[in-house]
Amino acid sequence: MKLLYGSGLEETRTQDIREALIRIKTEMGELSLNPLMPSTNPVCERFLTSLPGVGTKSARCLMMYTLGRKTFPADAHCIRVLSRIGVIRKSRDHREDQEKLADLVPANLAYKLHVNLVAHGQEICSAANPRCTKCPLTRFCKTPRSQILTAPEKHRDGPTVVDLFCGAGGTSFGLARAGYRIKAAIDNDSWACQTYRLNHPEVDPDRIVCKDIHEVRASNLLDPKATGPVDLLVGGPPCQGFSTIGARIRGANGEKRFINDPRNELYKEFVRLVRNIKPRVVVMENVLGLFSLKNGYYRDQILQDLNHGYATRAVRVNTHAFAVPQRRLRALFVGISGAHFGDKADVIVTNIMERLGSFRNPGPTLSQAIADLPKLDQNDGGEVCRKPTRRGRLSAYALEMGAGSQTVIFNHVSRPLNIRDQLLYGLLEPGEKGHDAVEKHGARHLMVYRDDIFHDKYRRLVYEKPSPTVMAHMAKDGHMFIHPDPDQNRSLTVREAARIQSFPDDFIFYGPRTYQFQHVGNAVPPRLAERIGAIIRQEVVAAGHVW
239 is catalytic: yes
pLDDT tens digits, the chain, 547 residues: what are they? 444 555 567 788 888 889 989 999 998 889 999 999 999 989 999 999 999 989 888 899 899 888 988 888 888 999 999 999 888 888 888 778 888 888 888 888 888 898 999 999 999 999 988 988 888 888 888 878 877 776 655 446 799 999 999 999 999 999 999 999 999 999 999 999 999 999 999 999 999 999 999 999 988 888 777 778 899 999 999 876 554 444 444 444 445 676 777 667 899 999 999 999 999 999 999 989 888 877 888 899 899 999 999 999 999 999 999 999 999 999 999 999 999 999 999 999 999 999 999 999 999 999 999 999 999 999 999 998 887 766 678 999 999 999 977 788 999 999 999 999 999 999 999 999 988 888 787 777 777 766 566 666 899 999 999 999 999 999 999 999 999 999 999 999 999 999 999 999 999 999 999 999 999 999 999 999 999 999 999 999 999 998 8
**How far apart are alpha carbons 299 and 308 in whole angstroms?**
15
Give residue 236's Cα distance to chain centre: 18
Q: In whole angstroms, what is the distance from residue 459 CA to residue 182 CA?
A: 38
pLDDT at 243: 45
Nearest CA to 509 among 77, 249, 208, 197? 197
Q: Which of 55, 71, 87 is the last residue of a domain?
A: 71
DSSP states of 57-115:
HHHHHHHHHTT--------HHHHHHHHHTTSS---S-HHHHHHHHHHHS-GGGHHHHHH
Q: Are residues 234 and 356 in the same domain?
A: yes
What pLDDT shows up at residue 368?
97
CA distances from 75 to 115, 170, 476 (A): 11, 39, 43
357 and 334 Cβ atoms separated by less than 8 Å: no
Q: Domain total for the chain?
A: 4
How confident is the model at residue 96, as a pLDDT?
Answer: 85
CATH code, 535: 3.40.50.150
- Regarding whether 407 and 497 lie in a shared domain, the answer is yes
| Whether residue 233 is found in the same domain as residue 99 | no
> pTM for this structure?
0.86
Residue 547 lies in a domain: no
Contact 98, 74 (CB under 8 A): yes
- Pair 55, 121 in one domain: no
Are the C-beta atoms of residues 199 and 139 closer than 8 Å to each other? Answer: yes
Quick one: 228 and 182 in the same domain? yes
Question: Is residue 143, in this structure, part of any structural domain at all?
Answer: no
Residue 142 lies in a domain: no
Residue 113 lies in a domain: yes
Catalytic residue selected from 78, 210, 239, 385: 239
Q: Is 283 contained in some domain?
A: yes
What pLDDT does 236 receive? 94
Looking at the structure, do residues 86 and 206 belong to the same domain, yes or no?
A: no
The confidence score (pLDDT) of residue 156 equals: 61
Domain-terminating residue out of 110, 135, 160:
135
Residue 459, in any domain of the structure: yes
H, E, C per residue of 128-180: CCCCHHHCCCHHHCHHHHHHHHCCCHHHCCCCEEEEECCCCCHHHHHHHHCCC
Report the pLDDT value the prediction gives residue 90, as an integer from 0 to 100. Answer: 84
Do 430 and 499 sit in the same domain of this protein?
yes
CB-based contact 161:172 (threshold 8 Å): yes
**Three-class SS state of 494:** helix
Give the model's pLDDT for residue 452. Answer: 61
pLDDT at 106: 87
Same domain, 190 and 107: no
CATH number at residue 129: 1.10.1670.10
pLDDT of residue 511: 95
Residue finishing a domain among 94, 109, 135: 135
SS3 of 295-314: HHHHHHHHHHHHCCCEEEEE
Task: Return the CATH number at 481.
Answer: 3.90.120.10
Q: In this structure, is residue 504 part of a structural domain?
A: yes
Phi, psi at residue 453, to the nearest 5°?
-115, -50
Q: Please indicate, yes or no, whether residues 356 and 392 belong to a single structural domain of this protein.
A: no
Q: Are residues 161 and 211 in the same domain?
A: yes
Q: Is residue 12 part of a domain?
A: yes
- Give Cα 436 to chain centroid, integer Å: 35
Same domain as 217, residue 177: yes
Q: In this predicted structure, what is the pLDDT of residue 191?
A: 97
Q: Helices (DSSP H) in 222-282: which residue ranges? A: 244-247, 265-277
Q: Range of 282's domain?
A: 151-360+528-542
Question: How far is it, in rounded angstroms, from Cα 92 to Cα 310?
Answer: 58
Q: What is the dihedral of CA 109, 112, 114, 120, to 10 degrees?
A: -130
Helix (H, G, I), strand (E, B) or coil at 203: coil
CATH number at residue 30: 1.10.340.30
* Residue 349 neighbours by CB under 8 Å, 6+ apart: 311, 312, 313, 334, 335, 336
**Residue 508 exposure: Cα atoms within 13 Å on the Cβ side:** 21
How far apart are alpha carbons 195 and 168 in whole angstroms? 5
User: What is the predicted pLDDT for the residue at 57?
Assistant: 86
Task: Name beta bridge partners: 284.
Answer: 235, 333
Give the model's pLDDT for residue 154: 43
How high is the pLDDT of residue 440?
A: 83
394 with 499: CB under 8 angstroms?
no
The length of the chain is 547
Res 354: pLDDT: 98
DSSP string, 3-71: --TTTTHHHHHHHHHHHHHHHHHHHHSSSSSGGGTTS-HHHHHHHHHHSTT--HHHHHHHHHHTT----
Same domain for 193 and 320? yes
